[in-house]
Amino acid sequence: MEHIKNGILDYLKDNSFMERGAVLKDSDSLTQNGIIDSIGLLELIDYICETYSIEIPEDMLTPENFDSLQGITDLITRLAK
Amino acid sequence: MRGMKIDAYITEHARKTPHQTALEEGKKSISYSRLDEDISIIASSLTDFEHCRFAILAESGTQYIKILMAVYRSGNIAIPLPIELPGLSLERILDAACINNIIATRKQYLRFGDGFFERFGTVIVVSDDNVVETRSKRVILERNNPELKLVLYTSGTTGTPKGVMLSNKNLVSNARSIIEVLSITPEDKAALVISPHHAFGNSIINSHLIAGGSIHTGTMNFIDPVFNLIESGVSIFYGVPSTYRILLRYPERFKKAFTNVRTAASAGGAMDRAIVRSIRELSPGTQILPMYGQTEATARLAYLPAEYVDEFIDTIGKAIPGVTLDVFDSENRPVEPDVTGELVARGDNILLGYLNDEDATEKRVINGWLHTGDLAQKLPGGYIRLLGRKDDLIKIGDHRVNPREIEKEIEKNSEVSSVFVVPVTHELMGNAISLMVIPNQGTEIDAIFAFCRKNLPGYLYPREILFIDHLPLSENGKISNRSIIEEYQHVKASM
């Protein structure tokens, strides 16, 4: 779990979505805190699909699954099994 | 009906069809009578102000529309802030427009924090249950254009923001033209998933509320909720080309969601054949209706009638009712068909002027004709073909941006010698930008990327940054979009 979470955090920092030193709580909203917009989110989804070799059906593209580090981590954990 | 105020149409519908749904957001909906009451509640907090400018800081949704209409109803002037812009760009708009008063939703108040609001004399916060809290109040007399109702910002990302001043006549006449072109009725339900703070989104609000129909608001952030929204009975879907590109990534779901959508309307950029073909294939019963416009024309200037989409997809179509389009030469004389000149427009929808910028207004509106800055040719039947810009403005992710201003902004704030913005194709946005940089000793690519992410909106985040060692000059020694693109192609070819 921590491994996946850190992977997503690294992606966000490597692509300058957030600053290196910035702190993001597991449940913080990515869209409402201005970290990511709709295009950025689609790019993140592409990155996740490729990195974890998973497919994400569109009915899973919801705020519950994609608006926070925790949501994304849980989703990947579930789908990567 | 001509002189009727936008918000008065809502009162009229509240009287005639009180139970008709006006707005939907998620699973919640409100009727016209409820909307009308809520607007009055918010407006009652503004009665001490007489024709003053009010910034609105609200996310897309029912609350935003109520606040906007409340500012109108109280006789004040609305200045919606594009909340997708970084804080710095918003501050630039606020400074340029000298705004003393602001209304924010509770959500945005908490997001921006107390410090952001200290600059305002008046701060009003509206919570989800319509509790209106005046946190501070200082009424300052303002002298504004007596017709002024709304100021929309066309840029402001970088450089000097330009505030387009619009009147009630502008808003109502353009909404009426749009109602006619799209045959909007009270039975129609619109999907508003693009930003309501800009001309296109604003025109959806006005035309559907004047027609007495309903609007379902949402955002494009998460795909499943967007498709759910469309499947809730939307009859007219509005999107910029990138909206359609994003949705078309999920063809099966698109097919299901658009079965009952009668019209797929677009504006904000050119629909290409690939998008049209995909929509046709997946939802043959949906009429495709591309439109063209500018904030300076309130929203719409031209439309492409659905039956001519295939034949004229490479044109912007013809003028909407109430608008006259022509093509002028550099002496402001109409040119013959098939001769290139500047597209000009007149009608009741042409802006009052730019806020606090008479020079810019005089350059854009000459003898009542709005000079669009778009190069164009007249075709038979009143159709108009665009051939690029007169200036160097480019469309990035369906936003009109000035590359020279972006370059200056990055140069001023980064360790670089020079920066050049290159428009490059992007799968979803149509166009994105890359940068070519002449470095100096302190240049770090990561620092430039980080600066862009923090200070520019997402659609301007560079796809790549290339180092070059000389200026991208044209043969006659000038720098333009063309010379920059040529240099870029040259650099890429030699990589």
A29-55 pLDDT, tens digit each:
998 888 888 888 999 999 999 999 999
Q: What is the CATH number of the domain that holds A45?
A: 1.10.1200.10
In chain B, residues with a C-beta closer than 8 Å to the C-beta of A60 are 224
pLDDT, position A53: 93
pLDDT, average across residues B187-208: 97
Mean pLDDT of chain A: 91
Among chain B residues, the shortest Cα distance to A28 is held by B111
State chain B's mean pLDDT as an integer: 94
In the prediction, which pLDDT does B2 show? Answer: 54
Q: Which of A32, A38, A65, A66 to mutate to test the interface with B (most CBs of B within 10 A)?
A: A38
Residues found in chain B:
495
| Distance from the B457 Cα atom to the nearest Cα atom in chain A, whole angstroms | 9
| Cα B440 versus chain centre, distance | 37
Residues of A within 8 A of B224 (CB-CB) are 58-62
- CA B153/CA B161 separation, integer angstroms: 7
Could you tell me whether strands B399-401 and B28-31 are parallel, antiparallel, or unpaired per DSSP bridges? unpaired
Please report the pLDDT score of residue B187 as a whole number.
98
| Domain boundaries defined on chain B | 6-382, 394-493
Contact A16 B449 (CB under 8 A): yes
> Could you tell me if A22 lies within 8 Å of chain B, comparing CB atoms?
no
Torsion-angle region of B268 (φ positive above 0: left; ψ -120 to 50: alpha; else: beta):
left
| Residues linked to residue B152 through DSSP beta bridges, in sequence order | B164
Which A residues in the span 40-79 are in contact with B, Cβ-Cβ below 8 Å?
40-42, 58-63, 66-67
Per the structure, the count of domains in chain A is 1
Torsion of CA B4, B9, B10, B13, to 10 degrees: 140
- Provide the pLDDT for residue B157: 59
**Could you say which architecture CATH assigns to the domain B6-382?**
3-Layer(aba) Sandwich (3.40)
- B258 SS3 class: helix
Question: Tens digits of per-residue pLDDT, B330-377?
Answer: 999 999 999 999 999 999 999 999 999 999 999 999 999 999 999 999
Inter-chain contact B253–A40, Cβ cutoff 8 Å? no
Q: What is the pLDDT of residue B467?
A: 95
Q: How many CB atoms lie within 10 A of CB B313?
A: 18
The pLDDT confidence band at residue B156, using thresholds 50, 70 and 90, is low
- Nearest C-alpha neighbor of B104 from the set B75, B85, B81, B88: B81
The model's pTM is: 0.93
* Residue A46 pLDDT: 93
With CB atoms and an 8 Å threshold, state whether A63 touches B225: yes
A19 touches chain B (CB under 8 A): yes
Q: Is the CB of B250 inside 8 Å of chain A's CB atoms?
A: yes
Cβ-defined contact of B221 to A42 (cutoff 8 Å): no
Q: Quick one: pLDDT at residue B87? A: 77
- Residue A63, domain extent: 2-79
Report the alpha-carbon distance of residue B351 to residue B285 in Å, rounded: 36
Contact B454 A42 (CB under 8 A): no
Beta carbon pairs, A and B, within 8 Å = 62
What's the confidence (pLDDT) of residue A1?
81
> Residue B158: is its pLDDT beyond 80?
no
pLDDT score of A18 more than 90:
no
What's the CA gap between B369 and B172, in Å, rounded?
19
pLDDT at residue B1 tops 80:
no
Q: What is the percent of chain B with per-residue pLDDT over 90, rounded to a whole number?
A: 83
> pLDDT band at residue B391, thresholds of 50, 70 and 90?
confident
Residues of B in contact with A44 (CB under 8 A): none
pLDDT greater at residue A42 or residue B157 = A42
Mean pLDDT on B413-421: 94
Cβ–Cβ gap A58/B224 under 8 Å: yes
- Options 1.20.120.1200, 3.20.20.70, 3.30.300.30, 3.10.450.50; CATH for B394-493 is 3.30.300.30
Do B221 and A63 lie within an 8 Å CB cutoff?
yes
